[in-house]
């Protein structure tokens, strides 16, 4: 069976809730498996691009009140916001192994400063006890209660990157990777503020790593399929052996990808063509999960656009979409917050009008808030610095 690039773009629009918007942030997140959370603003902007009624309030409610969305470190050591039911899947498929490596690295780094496994465990037990009593606390508040978190160790002695690193900055993140802590509440400021409060994680749900990997691949194929082994290996950060094991576990079916894109995989019940949605426009933020969902992107992002839209580390900036393809980029003008965009592909008057409407809608719910991406790209920088026309 062959699945064309056009059919893949139809699936993307429908399944990622860009052609038909979601009613809730939970549905928006589930449509792309997880929302990227490295840049805190991305969570709100990605959800907003997929919601019938966008705005920060429903996302904050899901994160901090209903707690139906959870911020956690996941695949490739990336911070994600995931539906609460997906937490054990992400943890056992990806995070537990990363946590073991991070613990070994931390002991190696901090060992010369007098930190061994016993001392590390003692501070961890102290943090858990403090949070059991306090409920939630910022890193600074925990450091005031547990002074050992504030200790600093010199690392990289004699190297260009030599410097002091606090124990707390590494240990709290390690405890989150181990499933002991969660980033629960907002520490203050507006929704674009990245500071958060720590809390005890719920009692973990036991799940075999192989079962967790199979479930994560099942969800990825449902949202992003067809995709290649290389796409999955890149997205998960797993070994090729683990990727192939998970594909076999879900009974993934090989398909030929159009435009000589090689062999891809879909779920066994996903072989029928999907109906093409009406043409749609979207303004997606930096690090949005849709453009970051595949390693091979030629079928929705022309190679000629990449230099303008990605930074040197491979992070995508804000993108303009028309009917399943990246056609330009957008930014907010420095000083005013005005949304400005530039097309890199000629898409015609209908598309321009639809994109203009999306930009107006985004500006309306942002309500004057200016978001500067954490990872800036050439086009985003140029647009944000451009003087008004």
Q: How confident is the model over 295-306, as a mean pLDDT?
A: 96
What's the CA gap between 177 and 117, in Å, rounded?
17
Which pLDDT score is estimated for 187? Answer: 63
**147-194 pLDDT, tens per residue?**
999 999 887 777 777 788 899 999 999 999 999 999 887 766 788 887
Question: Does residue 62 have a pLDDT over 70?
Answer: yes
Which pLDDT score is estimated for 168? Answer: 94
**303-357 pLDDT, tens per residue?**
999 999 999 999 999 999 999 999 999 999 998 999 999 999 999 999 999 999 9
What's the CA gap between 314 and 331, in Å, rounded?
18
Where are any strands of DSSP class E within the chain? 2-3, 35-36, 69-73, 79-83, 136-137, 152-155, 163-166, 181-186, 196-200, 253-257, 262-266, 281-284, 319-322, 325-332, 339-343
What's the CA gap between 74 and 92, in Å, rounded?
10
Cβ neighbours of residue 164 under 8 Å, at least 6 residues apart? 152, 153, 154, 155
Which pLDDT score is estimated for 364? Answer: 96
Q: Which two tokens stand for residue 246?
A: 């998970």
**96-125 pLDDT, tens per residue?**
999 999 999 999 988 888 899 999 999 999
- State if pTM tops 0.85: yes
The β-bridge relationship of strands 196-200 and 136-137 is: antiparallel
Question: Does residue 73 have a pLDDT over 70?
Answer: yes
Q: How confident is the model over 88-103, as a mean pLDDT?
A: 95
Of 51-55, 76-80, 252-256, 353-357, the one with minimum mean pLDDT is: 76-80
**8-32 pLDDT, tens per residue?**
999 999 999 999 999 999 999 999 9
Q: How confident is the model over 238-252, as a mean pLDDT?
A: 98
Question: Does residue 288 have a pLDDT over 90?
Answer: yes
Q: What is the mean pLDDT of the chain?
A: 94
Q: Where are the domains of the chain?
A: 86-200
Q: Burial of 125 by CB count in 10 Å (0-12 exposed, 13-18 middle, 19+ buried)?
A: exposed
User: How does residue 232 score in pLDDT terms, banded at 50, 70 and 90?
Assistant: very high
């Amino acid at each position: 069976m062959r699945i064309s690039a056009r059919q893949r773009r139809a699936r993307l629009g429908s399944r990622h809730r860009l052609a038909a918007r979601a009613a809730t942030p939970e549905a928006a997140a589930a449509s792309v498996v997880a929302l990227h959370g490295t840049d805190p603003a991305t969570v709100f902007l990605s959800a907003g691009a997929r919601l019938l009624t966008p705005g920060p309030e429903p996302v904050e409610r899901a994160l901090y009140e209903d707690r139906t969305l959870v911020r956690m470190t996941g695949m490739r050591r990336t911070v994600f916001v995931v539906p609460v039911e997906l937490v054990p899947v992400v943890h056992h498929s990806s995070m537990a192994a990363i946590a073991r490596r991070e613990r070994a690295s931390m002991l190696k780094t901090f060992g010369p400063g007098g930190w061994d496994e016993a001392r590390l465990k003692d501070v961890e037990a102290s943090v858990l006890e403090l949070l059991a009593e306090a409920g939630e606390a910022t890193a600074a508040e925990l450091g005031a209660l547990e002074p050992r978190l504030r200790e600093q160790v010199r690392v990289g002695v004699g190297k260009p990157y030599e410097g002091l690193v606090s124990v707390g900055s590494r240990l709290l993140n390690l405890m989150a990777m181990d499933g002991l802590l969660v980033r629960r509440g907002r520490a203050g400021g507006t929704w674009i503020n990245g500071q958060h409060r720590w809390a005890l994680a719920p009692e973990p749900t036991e799940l075999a790593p192989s079962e967790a990997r199979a479930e994560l691949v099942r969800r990825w194929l449902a949202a992003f399929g067809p995709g290649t082994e290389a796409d999955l290996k890149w997205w998960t950060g797993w070994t090729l052996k683990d990727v192939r094991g998970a594909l076999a576990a879900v009974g993934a079916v090989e398909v030929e990808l159009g435009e000589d894109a090689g062999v891809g995989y879909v779920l066994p019940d996903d072989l029928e063509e999907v109906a093409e949605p009406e043409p749609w426009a979207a303004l997606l933020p930096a690090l949005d999960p849709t453009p970051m969902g595949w390693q091979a992107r030629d079928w929705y992002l022309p190679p000629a656009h990449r230099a303008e839209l990605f930074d040197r580390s491979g992070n995508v900036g804000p993108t303009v979409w028309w009917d399943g393809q990246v056609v330009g980029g957008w930014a907010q003008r420095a000083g005013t917050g005005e949304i400005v965009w530039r097309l890199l592909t000629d898409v015609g008057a209908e598309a321009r009008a639809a994109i203009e409407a999306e930009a107006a809608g985004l500006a309306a719910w942002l309500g004057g808030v200016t978001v500067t991406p954490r990872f800036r790209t050439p086009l985003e920088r140029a647009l944000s610095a451009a003087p008004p026309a």
